[in-house]
Amino acid sequence: MQEVNSNKRLIKTRYGPDGIHLFDRNTGLNILLDDEIPHSDIWTKSPRQVSIALTNICNLKCTHCYAPKSKVALDKGIVKQWMKELDLAGSFGIGFGGGEPTLHPDFYELCQFGHNETSLAMTFTTHGHTLNDSLVTLIENYIDFTRISMDGVGKTYESIRGCSFEKFLEKISLLKGRVNFGINYVVNSQTIKDLEQAIQIAESYGASEFLFLPEEAVGLGNQVDTATIEQLSTWVSEYKGNIRLSISSVRKNSVNYLRALDKEPEHLAYSHIDANGYLKKTSFEPSGYEITESGVINSYKKLCNAEERII
């Protein structure tokens, strides 16, 4: 890994099966140099993106929730160690999740640490209802991107989330022009009907990305049906708008869309750390590798060895 310094290390380099990948967290710029593919011996030995469930605590009870219901929360000192280690190993970004990450008592401190003490892009996923002007003011200089969960609109949203959709819109309006954000959208037979309106709302509130999360049979969730996936695929193929569209890694082959890092295996692209300190392939996995005193990269090596045996 090579880095270019400017007070903080902002431009990072990863080597992988698609080429040499440059990333600037300050602007979000990604550049792929694919004229010559690096030998596998020098591929970067860390996941490109890592999500960390800071806590399982959440103040909502959504009908499709897959997260365990417990009061578990990660120690801030341990999370800081992991961020430092992943940064030095070549990861590009950290995404805090949960549960509801903003309910972790040290959420702000961890965002500030990640921004000031590492070159990682800092993001988090939230249901949005804990946002207020004070919190946004605290984090707006330390967060590179925020993902807001919006499953359906109006009555559909309210039946799933148990919260006022109007209040939700008031919350995301706090981010406009202050924090770059995108929409996470669980796709099922209910929410697919609201997709066009949801995209229009996302555009009007200034979202830059729309991430499709087809519902999975994990926790309280039910497996999304084939007809809904086909409807989503058709909609994506006909979309002419300006918002960047993406889809969860477990469903990347369900919908046709351009993937710049097409050869990158999942375990190089992404890993998840749950609130009990286990590193997993995705947040949906039932088991993983405990992160011990030997560090997060040691657990990641175990995951890679398992994946490479499968491949």
Report the alpha-carbon distance of residue 36 to residue 113 in Å, rounded. 36
Structure tokens at 67: 């997260």
Q: Is the pLDDT of residue 311 over 50?
A: no
Report the alpha-carbon distance of residue 9 to residue 24 in Å, rounded. 9
**What is the strand order of the sheet 270-273 is part of?**
244-247, 209-214, 181-187, 145-149, 121-126, 93-97, 49-53, 270-273, 278-280, 289-290
Residue found under tokens 């477990």: 250
CB 28 within 8 A of CB 144: yes
Average pLDDT of the residues in 7-26: 86
Q: Is the pLDDT of residue 302 over 90?
A: yes
Report the alpha-carbon distance of residue 102 to residue 137 in Å, rounded. 14
- pLDDT by residue (tens digit) across 144-171? 999 999 999 999 999 999 999 999 999 9
The predicted pLDDT at position 296 comes to: 97
CB 20 within 8 A of CB 38: yes
Q: Is the pLDDT of residue 5 over 50?
A: no
Average pLDDT, the chain: 90
Q: Is the pLDDT of residue 66 over 90?
A: no
Dihedral class, residue 177 (left if φ above 0, else alpha if ψ from -120 to 50, else beta): left
The predicted pLDDT at position 253 comes to: 59
Average pLDDT of the residues in 180-202: 95
**Residue 19 in 3-state DSSP?**
strand
The predicted pLDDT at position 217 comes to: 83
Query: What percentage of the chain reaches a pLDDT higher than 90?
Result: 74
The residue that leads in pLDDT, 258 or 131, is: 131
Tell me the pLDDT band of 258, cut-offs 50, 70 and 90. low
CB 35 within 8 A of CB 50: no
Average pLDDT of the residues in 193-216: 94
CB 147 within 8 A of CB 175: no
Q: Is the pLDDT of residue 11 over 90?
A: no
Distance of CA 179 to the CA centre of its chain: 16
Structural domains in the chain, sorted by start = 45-310 (3.20.20.70)
CB 226 within 8 A of CB 254: no
The predicted pLDDT at position 107 comes to: 98
Report the alpha-carbon distance of residue 279 to residue 282 in Å, rounded. 9
Report the alpha-carbon distance of residue 178 to residue 289 in Å, rounded. 37
Report the alpha-carbon distance of residue 84 to residue 232 in Å, rounded. 39
